[in-house]
Amino acid sequence: MSITILGIESSCDDTSASVLRDGVIHSNITATQTVHMAYGGVVPELASRAHQQNIIPVVDQALKEANVTADEIDAVAFTRGPGLLGSLMVGTSFAKGFALSKNIPLIEVNHLKAHILAHFIDDLKNTYDHPNFPFLALLVSGGNSQIIIVKDHMDMEVIGETIDDAAGEAFDKCAKVMGISYPGGPIIDKRSKEGNPLAFEFSKPKIQGLNYSFSGLKTSFLYFLRDRVKENPNFIEENMNDLCASIQYTIVDVLMNKVKRAVRETGIKEVAIAGGVSANSGLQNAMKEAAVKMGWKVYIPQLGYSLDNAAMVAITGYFKYLKKDFVEQDTAPFARMTIK
Ligand code: KG4
């Protein structure tokens, strides 16, 4: 019997809906909110209002594109957390209403696990090579930087994480001090391609074990720019590409050093990257290089599954459906959910 899942994602500033049948994505529609650009970060109240406006048209389009009616959906999976509470509330309420009206099961999804399970998605054109358990995942987004041992679809153990800022935050904050609008990560990535990664050197954090820290790097970048701009007010504009390439090189190097250590310590050589920062070309290249030099098997998300999306929620929902892992209508969103 075939199983059709509707996935709903609304944890931050993307409203997304996806239809997945038996592990294969049939549609993945995302409305990205642009209202936040003027503010240098996501404004929670504006995000929840935009989700309210977007959710019905986005789900409607996802059903149409998949050529599926609401009556053909077997279960609704939604992001329960972590994320912005007001934003999560919109997706959760919609999912509950949909499940209640169609009398179908409701499945809660942990957004962080979903980023990792995006590696198990197939589409109508391709069946992909999926990671084998146990594998390591580097989860890097605007809110998280974690190294995880993935033992099973649902059994995951965090072995390292940031003690302050996330890698995405480091990209965005460094971009902000150069006058780049939010989110600056993708723009740093683009400008890096024209710059010299060794033009400027920034001190790297010295943190024990497998944990990360990015707040010192951001501060040293800020002080470096402040001093240079004092000497030359046009310093940033004149060196933008080199600055982007150098800061990206440093962040990627910090990320990779701990992943290499995690591989050494665990002996696990299958490594997947996930989350918004996994779209970064510097990180992707560093992973591919490690695969060749160190014999790792690396997994890089397919285009469209790095950033927040409902396809990853739907695939997680599918695995939970197979285990009959459902929740009741009194389930509430949870802003601070962790991977455990
Ligand atoms: O996973 P995600 O879509 O959302 C949450 O964190 O919830 O990640 C967004 C983060 C932002 O910090 C953004 O700047 C960063 O991912 N990002 C990138 C790139 N694309 C997105 N950072 C560096 N290079 C990229 N190409």
The DSSP call for residue 162 is: B
What spacing in Å lies between the alpha carbon of 307 and ligand 1's midpoint? 6
What pLDDT, on a 0 to 100 scale, did the predictor assign at position 41?
83
The one-character DSSP state at 244 is: H
The amino acid sitting at 311 is A
Residue 172 CA to ligand 1 center (angstroms) comes to: 8
Rounded-to-10 torsion of CA 280, 253, 183, 222: -160
Q: For the segment 267-287, what is each residue's pLDDT rounded down to a tens digit?
A: 999 999 999 999 999 999 999
Backbone angles phi, psi at 58, to 5 degrees: -70, -45
> For residue 205, is the peptide bond before it cis, meaning its omega torsion is within 30 degrees of 0?
no
Beta strands (DSSP E) in 37-89 are 75-81
Q: Tell me: the pLDDT tens digits for 44-55? A: 999 999 999 999
Residue closest by Cα to atom 16 of ligand 1: 276
pLDDT reported for residue 1: 85
Q: Quick check: CB of 141 below 6 Å from ligand 1?
A: yes
Q: Is 142 near ligand 1, meaning CB less than 6 Å away?
A: yes
Give me the DSSP letters along 248-288.
HHHHHHHHHHHHHHHHHHH---EEEEESGGGG-HHHHHHHH
C-alpha 260 – ligand 1 centre gap (Å): 22
How far apart CA 9 and CA 83 sit, in angstroms, is 10
Determine the residue of 307, 308, 336 to mutate for testing ligand 1's pocket, defined as the one with the most ligand atoms within 8 A of the Cβ atom: 307
Residue pLDDT tens, the chain, 340 long: 899 999 999 999 999 999 999 999 999 999 999 888 888 789 999 999 999 999 999 999 999 999 999 999 999 999 999 999 999 999 999 999 999 999 999 999 999 999 999 999 999 998 899 999 999 999 999 889 999 999 999 999 999 999 999 999 999 999 999 999 888 999 999 999 999 999 999 989 999 999 999 999 999 999 999 999 999 999 999 999 999 999 999 999 999 999 999 999 999 999 999 999 999 999 999 999 999 999 999 999 998 899 999 999 999 999 999 999 999 999 999 999 999 7
Q: How far apart are CA 99 and CA 135, in angstroms?
A: 34
- State the pLDDT at residue 47: 96
Per DSSP bridges, beta strands 156-161 and 270-274 are unpaired
Q: What is the pTM of this model?
A: 0.96
Instruction: Give 38 Cα–ligand 1 centroid separation in angstroms.
Output: 18
Q: Say how many Å lie between the CA of residue 277 and the centre of ligand 1.
A: 5
Is residue 47 within 6 Å of ligand 1 at its C-beta?
Answer: no
The residue nearest atom 10 of ligand 1, judged by CA position, is 142
Instruction: Give the distance (Å) from ligand 1 centre to CA of residue 186.
Output: 7
> What atom of ligand 1 comes closest to residue 308's alpha carbon?
3
Measuring from atom 3 of ligand 1, which residue has the nearest CA?
Answer: 307
For residue 201, the model assigns a pLDDT of 95
Q: Which atom of ligand 1 is nearest to the CA of 142?
A: 6
